[in-house]
Amino acid sequence: MRTLLFSLVLMSFGTLFAQKTISGIVSDENGPLPGVSIIIKGTRTGTETDFDGKYTIQAQVGNVLVFSYLGMTTIEKKVGTSDTINVLMIYDNVLEEVVIVGYGTSEPTSGLFNRKRDKKEKYSVSSVVYEKPNDESYSNISENIFKTPLKDPLSTFSIDVDKASYSNVRRMINNGEKVPNDAVKIEEMINYFNYNYAQPVDEHPFAIHTETAVCPWNEEHVLVKIGLQGKTIETENLPASNLVFLIDVSGSMQDANKLPLLKSAFKLLVNQLREKDKVAIVVYAGAAGVVLEPTSGDQKEKIISALDQLQAGGSTAGAAGIQLAYQLAAKHFKEKGNNRVILATDGDFNVGTSSDSDLEKLIEEKRKSGVFLTVLGFGMGNYKDSKLETLADKGNGNHAYIDNMQEAQKVLGTEFGGTLFTIAKDVKIQVEFNPNKVQAYRLIGYENRLLNDEDFVDDTIDAGEIGSGHTVTALYEIIPQGVKSKFTKDLPSLKYSNTEPNPTFESELLTVKFRYKKPDQNESIELVKIVPDDVKSVSETPDDFRFAASVAMFGMQLRSSEFKGKTDYNQIIELASNAKGNDQDGYKSEFVRLVKAVK
């Protein structure tokens, strides 16, 4: 009898303390909430919610799960008999101060925060920590200012489909870090999102869309949106790919959000490859080497096995890796195919050619081979955005920053075709303003993409690329004639300029010219579109216009821009919330949550 009772007691304890899988969905008032930290209280065991707000974690009955997210009240839930725990997070109105605990060597518990209230009702935040001080680098950005058409009638720039800035800024905000001004590239933040522009219907690879309305942050000004929609080519119709994965396996890539995340991200791409696609893998640390010769896309297990075997260690001979990757891509070049090197790194090159200018010359030389370049940035603490932006810009390619698997899915999954297949290269935009309508104008963002006016017709000048299905959006803020503004100054009278109104152009606000080359050609094709002086109210504009404006406003707030006007976070939230449209993937809802967190 005693033996039976003892056995029953043991069975009870075994049931009580047995590991079980707890799952659920974490939401806020707007829906599922990605990136929520879930920690077993008193331990370092944790996880975080995926893009759909879902999570799973191994825990025992009696454990307490702590759910935390920046700007929201921390919630604790005790594990009972149920295997499902759903949580509704609410915004915290008591948050007065966030204190980031300094750099240390302890292991991170998750991608976000563990928050505890002290006696003074402040928060002490234990953030993701680095093993060394922050050594990230960004190119200097001097914000575009207002210019007058009498002195500068033309505005010329290269298009930009890079999206790295938004995901990088999102990472900083979610980690409770101060966002450096130079990390905020407003054009990349705007172009992170897809807009509902109509597909092209003629022989050109992209369609042109424009919209003009009252400027949301200054009602006396006008906001002009210029949008390009690249033709979408279905994956099965894409030409054969000759891809070289160029992977940084140096010691700086050891962190969980670097090489381990990188390998998982590349597997998403591998799973979409076809039999006619070829993949090679080149790695570099102290030296560069080939770990996988060109392999057919139907041998997925072989490619994934090669990825799984990669380990980090050593110094960083990035230039040697670039040389080898381009050499391999050129050797197996596919005529009429997609020939591309995909570089994945934190950008921390320290052996051989490593300066931005030297790397720029190297890439400019390599792009003559017809091989395009995609640059994927990973990690934090030593992330070299300036270097990676230079490589992508000069390599006829694009630049993305991958901070989690959801972003990897977006870049290498959902947007696979646009990331890898170019439909138009060296795309330039030149805008001519009607001085009888426009007193001054300002291009919002694109500071690192400005061109000389004469570069527009010079086919030797490099510019940006558009991929399959890509959208490109640019915004101009305009001060109409007759509006008094602190941003305009009187000019001396000009002897030779004709400032008399021309009735022929009375209805025109501006003229936009576009030049592009087909991917395999070297001569540009020019398109022209006239934008009429037809200014709508903000409420009359499509969702795309209002949402792009809200992202621009957020960028100006983060930069503490002198041009932000009357913008405040409540206005941004309201404008974006009402302009999400068909937000099937939830990226625009995530943007609203991000703004609320900063607020």
Instruction: Give the residue from 172, 173, 225 showing the smallest Cα distance to 550.
Output: 225
| Three-state SS sequence of 368-437 | HHCCEEEEEEECCCCCEHHHHHHHHHHCCEEEEEECCHHHHHHHHHHCHHHHHCEEEEEEEEEEEECCCC
424 phi, psi to nearest 5 deg: -155, 135
Q: Are 110 and 70 in contact (CB under 8 A)?
A: no
Domain with CATH 3.40.50.410 in the chain: 237-417
Residues 6+ apart with CB under 8 A from 135: 381, 382
- Categorize the per-residue pLDDT at 405 as very low, low, confident or very high, splitting at 50, 70 and 90: confident
Q: What is the pLDDT of residue 105?
A: 34
Give the start-end residues of each E strand in 414-506.
422-433, 438-444, 464-467, 471-480
The yes-or-no verdict on residue 130 having pLDDT over 50 is no
Q: Who contacts 221 (Cβ-Cβ below 8 Å, separation ≥6)?
A: 214, 215, 477, 478, 479, 480, 483, 485, 565
The arithmetic mean of pLDDT across residues 500-507, rounded, is 74
Q: Where in the chain is the domain with CATH 2.60.40.1230?
A: 154-233+423-487+506-598
How far is Cα 451 from Cα 430, in angstroms, rounded to an integer? 9
Distance CA 435, CA 313 (A): 59
d(CA 113, CA 381): 17
The whole-angstrom separation of Cα 59 and Cα 339 is 48
| CATH code that applies to domain 154-233+423-487+506-598 | 2.60.40.1230
What is the residue-averaged pLDDT of the chain? 84
Q: List the structure tokens of 15.
A: 């049931």
> How far is 70 from 110, CA to CA, in rounded Å?
13
Closest to 244 (Cα-Cα) out of 420, 363, 407, 393: 420
pLDDT at 106 over 60: no
Q: Where in the chain is the domain with CATH 2.60.40.1120?
A: 16-126
DSSP bridge pairs for 378: 402
Mean pLDDT of 328-345: 91
Q: What is the DSSP letter of 176?
A: T
CB-CB contact of 346 with 252 (8 Å)? yes
> Pick from 545, 547, 572: which is nearest to 558 by CA?
572
Q: What is the pLDDT of residues 136-194, one digit of tens each?
A: 888 899 999 999 998 999 999 999 888 999 999 999 998 888 899 999 999 999 999 98
- Into which CATH architecture does domain 16-126 fall? Sandwich (2.60)
Residue type for position 567: T
Residue 511 has pLDDT above 80, yes or no: yes
Half-sphere CA count of 599, side-chain side, radius 13 A: 19
Cβ neighbours for 583, distance < 8 A, ≥ 6 positions apart: 589
**8 A C-beta contact, residue 28 and residue 64:** no
Q: What pLDDT does 489 receive?
A: 81
Of all residues in the chain, the percent with pLDDT exceeding 70 is 86
State yes or no: pLDDT of 116 exceeds 60.
no
> Do 111 and 37 touch, CB atoms closer than 8 A?
yes
Backbone angles phi, psi at 268, to 5 degrees: -60, -40
Q: Which of 58-67, 80-89, 264-273, 502-511 has the lowest mean pLDDT?
A: 502-511
Burial of 291 (0-12, 13-18, 19+ CB in 10 A): middle
* pLDDT > 70? residue 220: yes
CA dist 495 and 510 (Å) reads 24
For residue 234, give both structure tokens: 């279905």
Q: Tokens 């990349």 label which residue?
A: 188
What band does 98 get if pLDDT is binned at 50, 70 and 90?
very low
Q: How far is CA 58 from the centre of its chain?
A: 32
pLDDT at 497: 65
Whether the per-residue pLDDT at 95 is higher than 60: the answer is no
How far, in Å, CA of 428 to CA of 159, rounded? 6
Residue with tokens 């197996």: 332
Superfamily name and number for 237-417: von Willebrand factor, type A domain (3.40.50.410)
One-character DSSP codes across 265-322? HHHHHHTT--TT-EEEEEEESSSEEEEEEEEETT-HHHHHHHHHT----S---HHHHH
pLDDT band at 355 (very low <50, low <70, confident <90, very high): low
Choose the weakest-confidence range: 80-94, 307-321, 350-364, 413-427. Answer: 350-364
Largest CA distance in the chain: 114
Q: Which residue has the higher pLDDT, 490 or 259?
A: 259
Low-confidence winner among 98-107, 267-276, 341-350 (lowest mean pLDDT): 98-107
Q: What is the pLDDT of residues 448-460, one digit of tens each?
A: 999 999 999 999 9
Amino acid (one-letter) located at 57? I
- pLDDT band of 118, cuts 50, 70, 90: very low
Closest CA to 325 of 376, 368, 274, 291: 291
Per-residue pLDDT at 390: 83
Range with lowest mean pLDDT among 32-36, 252-256, 571-575 = 32-36
CA distance 573 to 376: 30
Residues 6+ apart with CB under 8 A from 309: 291
